Chain A
């Protein structure tokens, strides 16, 4: 009887086990750029909530504050109310189109440098190297038995990771409350539960994503590589292995001469043992003519934070961080070859270079219809929002007629309607305004805490800072007139800044004869 395995063949696995990556430390221009961007982005993230911005006594003095409890969003000089949330929507659209713009001009630069997943993973990798040593030491440690030393190193590493994770989660909540106050509460233990819960959740996600998942998040979970895969074209900037220079590879410089003596070499493969040519060979000429610059040292693979081989071409795992460029340049320098065997380039340029045609200038690559259109869309949304921000009204009113009852006949025969009046003062200072009404001759208005006797054609209101003032507004007018007439309520600020808003509503009377 055959065993089950004989019938089904090799077991089908539902998932592939992760091959742990040990990226090697590297120095170079792109590494320095990454350090700089990491420093800037982390500084922005951690410092922003602590910046102060004076808004006077009636508004918080935190420069960037998402005040969910009071439904206000402060960003330096800009204050956004819930009904102005379209500014945030506009910013999100700009961010989306901005990513398109960045992708079409400089490829996956976001992935390689600025994405939080990249920045924090980079930070975690650096910690790992500080504790465990570089790539080879890490691999050795991974294979080593669990000695006290290994345990100590593991505990230290995960401990530091968790500290960073706590700091990450901790910084996040400061965007949602007054940072110094919340920090005191946090350490005193009397911060709201939601603050602790948020810190806990973000600590867990930071630790898991930055320490454990790392490149798997980019490769399996993140939608952006897929979207970018669709957005990249032959003119997009990607990290490219110049196959026309590198191939055929040799496995180390020692073999170069050996390979050069062979007339045929497999494209990119290991040199096949072949019959030496009978032709007389000019070794030096063969070296330059047949042998590529790639010596197959795997430096580019060992530094890659996502563990890919860039020489296989553009792929979803490549976040275009440029570390393989640094690694390869270092090797090229050592073996006396020109740099940038791996470099930022476009597919179109590589085809041109392989065929010896001139490549496109940087300016022509950057200013092509696609990038220009993206930039125009992105820029016009930004300009439109700036214009809207600059001209927006910080005073608004809304009026709704009381429908139960629609009208009330008063003892002197006149007719009274009631309205719910809301005046929004979006300035962070109290303001005095005047509400007036037009459209009904002889109309007298007064508020719920006033009386008809001191009613007038206008009503003065003192609006509290940064709030909606609500009042019931009574309006009385002579009986004679149409059963339903349109009227306009206007509010006008009485201070130097001025500003006004208006809204129409209706005044109703009994039908004639009732």
Chain B
């Protein structure tokens, strides 16, 4: 019906040539500005295809003359952020961990950074609130197996616990008294009774008195004569209310029978020293952190951290 085109008298505009029940459509031209906008978008689209990755090919897309990629953009942003953080990282790398509390701003930064790193590396065992689980210590409390000052925590983090091949790792070995038949089941039962009296969970009895003798022979070397523990060996204090593997009779019986030797990775081989410092600061900030007490004699090369831990342990035991 193209021949139906005619000029509409009222408007002077051509019709498109269709007609339905007497209704026709005017072929009104588009507004100029609209048309120019359309042309502008076409020009933009072409320019975009030339400048940016646009056309998908078999195993990649066209590169575009600007060579822009989302990965390089991300890398660039990371570089910028890295440059922004560099002075703080450098300051953290420079400062000895035990002197971190002197710079409260740097300490706050370290704690914040440690909180982030903790969420990535530590929560799997210690929990998102560092509250721990059976066998995985609660880092909020004031009980430390290997020492709770900044330097001791950093040492533990860097070298891990019972990591073969690491010279400085925290290590000790509790014998499996039952499994290796060092003690008979009846003797173990008596030692359990004695251990339960140490923290006041049970009243002294004839059995516990017999157990005390066994304790003095087999356990006191590491746990101390009164069960006060020894941080150099990671031997837990048996007189307090915190039981990593449970403080009921059955749990303690199992512990003595099979022994417990928990492990932790040596993060020094996986994380950079600054991240470890930040993690130490964070763990220390959770509420149980202890003050660093410098060892009394001149710093020796032997094992200052162990000494520090021992000192801290002494200080702590001396507390009311």
Contacts and interface: CB of A to CB of B under 8 A. Distances in A.
Given A4-B10, A411-B142, 5 more contacts: A7-B10, A405-B131, A410-B141, A412-B240, A418-B140
A451 B237 CA distance: 21
A507 to B, nearest CB: 15
A403 B291 CA distance: 26
B131 A4 contact: no
A413 interface: yes
Interface string B135-164: 000101111000000000000000000000
B250 interface: no
Given A4-B10, A405-B140, A411 B129 contact: no
Given A405-B129, A412-B241, A4 B142 contact: no
A416 interface: yes
Contacts of B287: 408, 416, 418, 474
A52 interface: no
A282 B241 CA distance: 123
A452 B287 CA distance: 9
A2 interface: yes
24 contacts: A4-B9, A4-B12, A7-B9, A404-B128, A404-B131, A405-B131, A405-B140, A408-B140, A408-B141, A409-B138, A409-B242, A410-B141, A410-B143, A410-B241, A411-B240, A413-B240, A413-B241, A418-B140, A418-B287, A448-B285, A449-B104, A452-B142, A453-B319, A474-B287
A410 B128 contact: no
Contacts of B285: 448
A8 interface: yes
B11 interface: yes
Interface in A378-422: 404-405, 408-413, 416, 418
A362 interface: no
Interface string A1-42: 110100110000000000000000000000000000000000
A411 B143 contact: yes
Nearest to B127: A405
Nearest to B13: A4
Contact of B237 (A410, A411, A453): A411
B87 to A, nearest CB: 24
Interface size class of B (residues with CB under 8 A): 20 to 34
Contact of B11 (A2, A4, A418, A449): A4
A405 B128 CA distance: 9
A4 B242 CA distance: 99
Interface-centre pick from A8, A408, A418 (highest chain B CB count, 10 A): A408
B11 A411 contact: no
Contacts of B131: 404-405, 408
B27 to A, nearest CB: 16
Interface string B259-286: 0000000000000000000000000010
A451 B148 CA distance: 13
Contacts of A1: 9
Given A405-B129, A405-B140, A453-B319, A411 B10 contact: no
A8 B11 CA distance: 9
Contact of A2 (B9, B140, B237, B319): B9
Contact of B141 (A4, A404, A411): A411
B10 A8 contact: yes
Interface size class of A (residues with CB under 8 A): 20 to 34
A22 B46 CA distance: 53
A1 B291 CA distance: 105
A479 to B, nearest CB: 8
Contacts of B140: 405, 408, 416, 418
Contacts of A452: 142
A452 B148 CA distance: 14
Interface in B195-211: none
Nearest to A408: B140
Interface-centre pick from B240, B287, B291, B319 (highest chain A CB count, 10 A): B287
A4 to B, nearest CB: 5
Contacts of A405: 127, 129-131, 138, 140
A411 B144 CA distance: 10
Interface in B1-60: 9-12
Nearest to B200: A413
Contacts of B141: 408-411, 416
A2 to B, nearest CB: 7
Contacts of A411: 141-143, 237, 240-242
Interface-centre pick from B9, B12, B127, B142 (highest chain A CB count, 10 A): B142
Contacts of A7: 9-10
A410 B12 contact: no
Contacts of A404: 128-129, 131
Interface in B268-320: 285, 287, 291, 319
A7 B138 CA distance: 91
Contacts of A479: 241
Contacts of A418: 140, 287
B210 to A, nearest CB: 27
Contacts of B11: 4
A418 B143 CA distance: 17
B154 to A, nearest CB: 19
B280 to A, nearest CB: 16
Of all A-B residue pairs in the complex, the 9 with the closest CB atoms, nearest first, are A404-B129, A411-B240, A405-B131, A413-B241, A408-B140, A411-B143, A405-B129, A7-B10, A4-B12
Interface-centre pick from A2, A4, A405, A416 (highest chain B CB count, 10 A): A405
A512 to B, nearest CB: 14
A471 to B, nearest CB: 11
Interface string A498-513: 0000000000000000
A453 B291 CA distance: 11
A409 B241 contact: yes
Interface string B208-247: 0000000000000000000000000000010011100000
A250 to B, nearest CB: 49
Nearest to B111: A448
Contacts of B291: 451
Contacts of B237: 411
Interface in A438-482: 448-449, 451-453, 474, 479
Nearest to B243: A409
Interface-centre pick from A4, A452, A453 (highest chain B CB count, 10 A): A4
B114 to A, nearest CB: 14
A408 B138 contact: yes
Contacts of B12: 4
Nearest to B132: A405
A7 B12 CA distance: 11
B56 to A, nearest CB: 40
